[in-house]
């Protein structure tokens, strides 16, 4: 009798465990399968798992297309620009509590590979940002008046050492404007610092609205 009771209790306990922990156990199993499959795929390519660029996906999105307005999209950025920025983060020339320590762990070959990888990824539009129509229209005029295309390309998609602005996150664009204006970020020519210093906060917001809402040219 006791044996039957114990078996029944064990069965009930197991059933309750499946009810409460079943989904978590299934998710854990799926994660384990994903990691195992990813590791085998990378080994088949002749490289270890995880790759360096896997670390970037958490903030910058899968294949460099960020879903967060505060983190830049790396997809389609010029390899030369990305490489320079990673070296700047590593040296402290450009400051970031996240990118500084991370970039210091990478050697020149890893930085070059990372920049090359993201430069070749297909760019996605910033479809999660809904601009204010009036601010966007104002930003359009300001960007045209400032001739941003002279450096950043006709479609503002960037080239060489000039970054892609089209479709970047609104919060990120505005933060960089503020950084240039305050002097906490600099560019070799000093052009961005000069522009930002002479652009009001309201105008910076309008420009950020316009740039963040621009469709990217695939």
Q: Report whether pLDDT(46) > 80.
A: no
**What is the architecture of the domain spanning 52-119?**
Orthogonal Bundle (1.10)
Q: How confident is the model at residue 55 (pLDDT cuts 50, 70, 90)?
A: confident
3-state helix/strand/coil string of the chain: CHHHHHHHHHHHHHHHHHHHHHHHHHHHHHHHHHHHHHHHHHHHCCCCCCCHHHHHHHHHCHHHCCCCCCCCCCCCCCHHHHHHHHHHHHHCCCCCCCHHHHHHCCCHHHHHHHHHHHHCCCCCCCCCCCCCHHHHHHHHHHHHHHCCHHHHCCCCCCECCECCCCCCCHHHHHHHHHHHHHCCCCCCCCHHHHHHHCCCHHHHHHHHHHHHHCCCCC
Comparing 3-17, 50-64, 82-96, the range with the smallest average pLDDT is 3-17
**What's the topology of domain 133-213?**
Cytochrome Bc1 Complex; Chain D, domain 2 (1.10.760)
pLDDT digits (tens, 9 = 90+) for 87-105: 999 999 999 999 999 999 9
pTM of the model: 0.76
Domain ranges of the chain: 1-50, 52-119, 133-213
133-213 and 52-119 share a CATH fold: yes
How high is the pLDDT of residue 188? 86
Q: How confident is the model at residue 24 (pLDDT cuts 50, 70, 90)?
A: low
pLDDT digits (tens, 9 = 90+) for 103-121: 999 999 999 999 999 999 9
What's the average model confidence in pLDDT over 44-70? Answer: 78
Q: How confident is the model at residue 161 (pLDDT cuts 50, 70, 90)?
A: very high
How high is the pLDDT of residue 5? 42
């Amino acid at each position: 009798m006791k044996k039957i009771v114990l078996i029944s209790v064990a069965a009930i306990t197991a059933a309750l465990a499946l009810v409460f922990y079943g989904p978590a156990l299934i998710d854990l199993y799926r994660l384990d399968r994903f990691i195992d499959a990813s590791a085998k795929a990378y080994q088949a390519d002749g490289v270890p798992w995880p790759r360096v660029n896997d670390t970037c996906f958490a903030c910058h999105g899968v294949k460099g297309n960020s879903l967060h307005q505060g983190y830049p999209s790396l997809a389609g950025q010029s390899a030369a620009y990305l490489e320079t920025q990673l070296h700047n983060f590593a040296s402290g020339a450009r400051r970031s509590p996240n990118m500084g320590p991370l970039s210091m762990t990478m050697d020149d070959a890893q930085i070059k590979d990372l920049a090359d990888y993201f430069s070749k990824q297909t760019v996605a539009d910033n479809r999660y940002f809904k601009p204010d129509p009036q601010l966007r229209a104002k930003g359009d005029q300001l960007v045209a008046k400032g001739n941003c295309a002279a450096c950043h390309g006709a479609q503002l998609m960037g080239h060489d050492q000039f970054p892609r602005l089209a479709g970047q996150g609104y919060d990120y664009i505005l933060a960089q404007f503020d950084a240039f204006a305050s002097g906490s970020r600099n560019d070799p020519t000093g052009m961005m610092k000069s522009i930002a210093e002479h652009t009001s906060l309201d105008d910076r917001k309008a420009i950020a609205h316009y740039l963040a809402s621009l469709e990217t040219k695939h």
